[in-house]
Structure 1
C-alpha cells in the first residue's frame, strides 16, 4: 500500500474528474481516469476494447493502464490523486466474468487506506459519447465498488454533495495535505 496514492472513486458522473482538475489547479499531482483515455484511444482505433463493445477487453486494458499509472507515479513527491484506477478496473473485470478483484490485485493494495468516494448524484450525471450507460447502471457500478472496497479493508470517505472546491478542501484536509 502506498500512503501517498489517493484514490477518488465512486459513481460515474459524480464529479471525480472535476475534483481531480481542482486538485491539479492547486498544484497536486493527479492521474486521469484510465477508462476515458482508453475510450479515446479505441474511438480513434479499431474500437474492439470499448466498454459497450467488449467490457472484459476494456477492463483488461484498464488494468494495464492503471498498473502503468501506478508505476509512473512512483517518482512523484507528495500525494498523488488518482481518478479511478486499478480497483475500479478490477471490479469491472470481475463484473464482466473475469478473475476476482482479489486475484487481480494480489496481496498488495495499491492505494492509501482512506479512499474518497463521490455518491450517485443524478443532477451531475450526463451521458455522452464516452459514457453511454445510464444513471441506474452508474449506481450499480457504485454499489459494486463500495462492496469491493469494504471487502478489501479500505476506509471509505463519502464526499457530500457540495461544491467542488469544498470537496477538494475535505480531501486535502482528510489526507493530511492541507
Structure 2
C-alpha cells in the first residue's frame, strides 16, 4: 500500500464489547460505507477451517492476518469521497502484533497511510459486555487491550475521542457532529 493519508477513513476502536459493531450498523443504516471488524471475520474463517490463526491460539498469526485483511479493506475504499467507518482494523491489528511479538506498531504501520486524525473509542462497558464464539476473552483482558489501544493511538498522533455510554442513535449523532 502506498503511504498517503486516507482523510475520510474513520476508526471506531476501543474496548471489546463496547458497542462498536452496533454503532457501525447504525452508521451503515444512515448510508455511510462501513467495514466490519477484521478480527471477527478471521475468527469465523478459522473456525470453519483448521483454526490455527485464532487470537487465543496464535496471536501473532492472527494479528498478521488482520493486518493483511485491513490493508486490503483500506485499498477497496481508497478513493472514498465520504466518510468510511472501520470497526477496528489496521491500527488495532498492529497493536495486537506489538503485544504478541514486541514489533512496534509504528513499524508495522510505516508504509500505510494514516486514518482520519480523530479516532473514536468505545470505553469499557461491563453492563453490555458478552463473550461469544468469536470473542472468548474475559472482561479483564478486554480492559488491558483497551489500555494498550488508548496509549497506542495517542503515541501514533491520533486525537482520541471516548464515546459516551448512550443509545446507539445518539452515539452515531455524537460521532458525526465531531468529525472535522
Q: Same fold (TM over 0.5)?
A: yes
Q: Give the CA deviation at 1:98.
A: 4.6
Greater Cα offset, 105-114 or 80-89: 105-114
Alpha-carbon distance in structure 2 between the residues aligned to 1:69 and 1:98: 25
Alpha-carbon distance in structure 2 between the residues aligned to 1:49 and 1:110: 26
Is residue 59–residue 90 contact of structure 1 (8 Å, CA) maintained in 2?
Answer: yes
The residue that corresponds to 2:116 in the other structure is: 112
The residue that corresponds to 1:154 in the other structure is: 158
The residue that corresponds to 2:80 in the other structure is: 76
Q: Give the CA deviation at 1:39.
A: 0.4
Is residue 56–residue 98 contact of structure 1 (8 Å, CA) maintained in 2?
Answer: no
The residue that corresponds to 1:137 in the other structure is: 141
Alpha-carbon distance in structure 2 between the residues aligned to 1:8 and 1:138: 15
The residue that corresponds to 1:55 in the other structure is: 59
Q: Secondary structure at the match of 1:42?
A: helix
Q: Which runs of 4+ in 1 moved over 3 A?
A: none
Alpha-carbon distance in structure 2 between the residues aligned to 1:29 and 1:126: 26
1:36-84: CA deviation from partner (whole Å, max 9, x where unpaired): 0000100011101011110100000000000000001113330100000
TM-score for both structures, normalised by structure 2: 0.95
Alpha-carbon distance in structure 2 between the residues aligned to 1:165 and 1:139: 25
Q: Give the CA deviation at 1:31.
A: 0.3
* Counterpart check, 1:121 vs 2:134: no
Q: Give the CA deviation at 1:102.
A: 0.7
Q: Report how many residues are paired.
A: 176
Is residue 18–residue 124 contact of structure 2 (8 Å, CA) maintained in 1?
Answer: yes
* Counterpart check, 1:39 vs 2:37: no
Alpha-carbon distance in structure 2 between the residues aligned to 1:111 and 1:83: 13
Structure 2: runs of 5+ lacking an equivalent: none
Q: Give the CA deviation at 1:100.
A: 1.0
Is residue 8–residue 83 contact of structure 1 (8 Å, CA) maintained in 2?
Answer: yes
